[in-house]
Amino acid sequence: MIEDLVSLVEEKTNIRANQIKAVLSLLQEGATIPFIARYRKEMTGNLDEEQIRNIVIIYEYEEKLKKRKEEVLNAISKKDKLTDEIKEKILACKTLSEVEDLYLPYKEKKKTRATTAIANGLEPLADTLLLCKNINVEEEAKKYLNENVKSVEDAINGAKDIIAERFSENALFRQGLRESLGKYGLISTSLKKDAIDEKKVFTLYYEKRIPIKYVEPYQILAINRGENEDILKVKIEFNEEMYLDYVCRKMIKNNTTTEAKYIKEAIEDGYKRLLLPSIEREIRNDLTEKAHDQAINVFSLNLEQLLLTPPLKNRVILGLDPAFRTGCKLAVIDVNGDFIYKDVIYPHEKSVGEIVTDERKEASEHKLVDIVKKFNVELIAIGNGTASRESEEFVASVIKKYHLPCSYVIVSEAGASVYSASKEAKEEFPTLHVEERSAISIARRVMDPLSELIKIDPKSIGVGQYQHDVNQTKLSETLDFVISKVVNSVGVNVNTASIDLLSYVSGLNKKSAKNIVDYRSSKGLIKDRKEIAKIKGIGDKTYEQAIGFLKIYESDNPLDKTFIHPDNYEEVNKLLKDIHYDSTYIGSEEINKALDNYSLENLANKYSLGTYTLSDIIEEIKKPLRDIRDNYPAPVLKSDILHIEDLRIGMELEGTVRSVVDFGAFVDIGLKNDGLIHKSKMSENKINHPLDVVSVGDIVKVYVCDIDLEKNRVGLSLLKI
């Protein structure tokens, strides 16, 4: 049966069966997805993390489907109602909903009108009506009168209830309605009577009708939220007559008989009371699930790009957490990211509308200048929260006025306050206030975004859409996968990494990560990879899974600074010896030239290494300190400010993509609010999704296409105006 499941996964992924089996086998042995993707390429045929995860998701679904089929077949068999035809239909089901449709007529039910009628002995009457023999229905109904069925009308109504439920549970009719609604149905929204939409958030949906087949995921999420907040009324519209006519033709054997009228009434009742509400719920749930998946996918892609923002290393950075009344908190970090100084300045009004005195503003200027000069600050990182643009204006004016040899950058501070109030932040900086810790976090987000952002719940980072409305379990699982993928793709400096960062390394968890940090705290710097095997909680399997991703820059063995796995050290040293070099030359121009003279296939055969593995090894030998984040756009450093009043239609600007959503992308062009590029302004050709064109962190050239001074909004275009 496992072979059958593998075949199904192969069919849905277009990945070969032997690759799927290899992945499943490795996972069963305790290997992690990052480890398999990097160190078992020969076994999997070079599958990446996304492909491996997709195999796991589809396999688990097929396994769940198989188990449910067995449960349903067993349940129907116990009722002695399992026929070869039913069994064949259930085994042929492709989805769980198809299985449930077929099981519905046999399912144990709570008390319904139909079950009551059956208990009262009216099922034979229902069967008789469906035969359409043109009988006298009222005379026939008299045969079924008893202490529970007092009248002919009660008997006929009971029989109709049974027919209505049978119709509503018929798998063919359920699937027919499901498909018809999907093709021809409309989602209709309207403003609820007496509803108050204070901020006019749902204006677009006060009167809207959208074909179900064309509705966008973000529209579903907006409609759901409006409904949940009791602002919108939502229903599905559909040409019911066509569908009911189809059902009647199928169920009524002879439309001219006396029974036809009663069957039709039963069908209409079953449709409105049972079938339509059930299928409506299914469709709404299905649309919602797809919308959740899309929102989670967009969020995960945005998060991945954000985490891959290149670090601005080897700089002294001043973090500035802006505020009005309480002042701007300042924190300086050195080239290693260590906190060395804190202060506060008051360059703004104490409350909105208050005039700032010249003395107070001048004192703030002098203090900022003194800090920059004293610590040789090269970059000022300004958080983008309250008073951000006012603080940017102040910083820009000081740099210009005093000719300071530094620049500034606007940093998203989403989640900084969450981290600053956390247990981890309190342990690291027990004597500092929340805002002071936040200033440190803002500075570190520029120096090493990955290491700092990893400390924050990804849902608080602010690069998603409707992230609090979606399936939180699925969201957490997906975001954890993204973080793990990025951390292991970048690699970790074992002597500086935090517990949070180490816990995402392949094979490690919070406990083993803490053991590593405790070990280096008590023993000093870890000097080689072998030493990690001695740490408590790092067994053979954990060591195998984690060690290739843990880099030790203090090691005497240059290979310890690379992604080359220790399992391959012996072969690598043989290779280096054969080309007349040793590991001390890795990364040198000489060794790079020497390797270029050798065929990859010949070397792979000689050293019993697969071509995928050897290709990765050679890449590490040539560029041992390469950081994949260097391939991504670096943050835009600035020294001057822009006002919305400075803008003109058609003006060309440079900006940083802050977030991508289904309908467009928000771009920081230096204003208080990010500008929006609607997806219609991204390409001359139709695009499926904004992510096909831009990603979080991209530096883009944009053109101003709309300016709304009243709402302080700017529309942008990637197309020249």
Q: Give pLDDT, residue 2.
A: 67
pLDDT at 159 over 90: yes
Which pLDDT score is estimated for 313? 87
Which residue carries 């064949």 as its tokens? 88
For 483-506, how does the pLDDT look when each residue is reduced to its tens digit (9 = 90+)?
999 999 999 999 999 999 999 999
Give the pLDDT mean for 622-645.
Answer: 83
Taking alpha carbons only, the member of 636, 644, 639, 638 closest to residue 716 is 644
CB pairs under 8 A, 24+ apart, for 611-616? 612/41, 612/42, 612/46, 613/39, 613/41, 613/42, 613/568, 616/38, 616/41, 616/563, 616/564
* Residue 669 confidence (pLDDT): 86
Q: SS3 for 351?
A: coil
Amino acid 354: pLDDT:
60
- One-letter amino acid identity for 415? G
CATH of 510-631, picked from 1.10.10.10, 2.40.160.20, 1.10.150.310, 1.10.287.1770, is 1.10.150.310
Residues 627, 631, 632, 637, CA torsion sign: positive
Residue range(s) occupied by CATH 2.40.50.140 in the chain: 644-717
pLDDT above 90 for 89: yes
Residues 6+ apart with CB under 8 A from 264: 248, 252
Query: Tell me, what's the pLDDT at 350?
Result: 60
pLDDT level of residue 356 (50, 70, 90 thresholds): low
Q: Tell me which amino acid residue 650 is.
A: G
Q: What percentage of the chain exceeds 90 in pLDDT? A: 72
CA gyration radius for the chain? 33
Cβ density class 335-345: b for 16+ within 10 Å, e for less: eebebeebbbb
pLDDT digits (tens, 9 = 90+) for 549-598: 999 999 999 999 999 999 999 999 999 998 889 999 999 999 999 888 88
Q: Any idea how long the chain is?
A: 721
Angstrom distance (rounded) from CA 541 to CA 547? 10
**Cα distance between residue 352 and residue 324, in whole Å:** 8
Q: What is the mean pLDDT of residues 416-443?
A: 86
The pair of three-digit structure tokens given for residue 119, joined into one six-digit string: 């208990």
Calculate mean pLDDT across residues 288-306. 91
pLDDT confidence of residue 411: 87
- For the chain, what percentages of helix, strand and coil (3-state, to nearest 5) are there? 55, 10, 35
Domain span(s) for CATH 1.10.150.310 in the chain: 510-631
Residues 7-24 pLDDT 10s: 889 999 999 999 999 999
Burial of 622 (0-12, 13-18, 19+ CB in 10 A): middle
- Give the pLDDT confidence of 226-284 residue by residue, as tens digits: 999 999 999 999 999 999 999 999 999 999 999 999 999 999 999 999 999 999 999 99
SS3 label, residue 213? helix
> Could you tell me where in the chain the CATH 1.10.10.650 domains are found?
2-76
Kind of pairing, strands 492-493 and 550-551? Answer: parallel
208 vs 206: CA distance, rounded Å: 6
| Weakest-pLDDT range from 247-256, 406-415, 638-647 | 638-647
Residues 284 and 185: their CA atoms lie apart, in Å, by: 12
* C-alpha span between 261 and 504 (Å, rounded): 67
- pLDDT confidence band for 399 (50 / 70 / 90): very high
pLDDT the model gives residue 355: 62
What CATH number belongs to 2-76?
1.10.10.650
pLDDT of residue 352: 47
Position 153 scores a pLDDT of: 97
Average pLDDT, the chain: 91
Instruction: Provide the pLDDT confidence category of residue 63 given band limits of 50, 70 and 90.
Output: very high
Domain with CATH 3.30.420.140 in the chain: 317-463
Fold of 644-717: OB fold (Dihydrolipoamide Acetyltransferase, E2P) (2.40.50)
Residue in the block written with tokens 């991204």: 682
Confirm if 212 and 185 have CB atoms less than 8 A apart. Answer: yes
Superfamily (CATH H level) for 317-463: YqgF/RNase H-like domain (3.30.420.140)
pLDDT given at position 664: 93
Write out the two tokens for 495: 């002597």
Handedness of CA 554, 557, 562, 567 (dihedral sign): negative
**Gap between the terminal Cα atoms of the chain:** 60
Tokens of 446: 């520029």
pLDDT tens track for 508-555: 999 999 999 999 999 999 999 999 999 999 999 999 999 999 999 999
Per residue in 674-721, pLDDT tens?
899 999 999 989 898 999 999 988 889 999 999 988 888 899 999 988
Contacts 24+ apart (CB under 8 A), 204-207: 205/232
Q: Model's pTM, two decimal places?
A: 0.85
| Residue range 119-146, pLDDT digits in tens | 999 999 999 999 999 999 999 999 999 9
Round to whole Å and give the CA distance between 684 and 703: 14
Predicted local confidence at residue 460, as pLDDT: 79
User: How many Cβ atoms from other residues are within 10 Å of residue 531's Cβ?
Assistant: 17
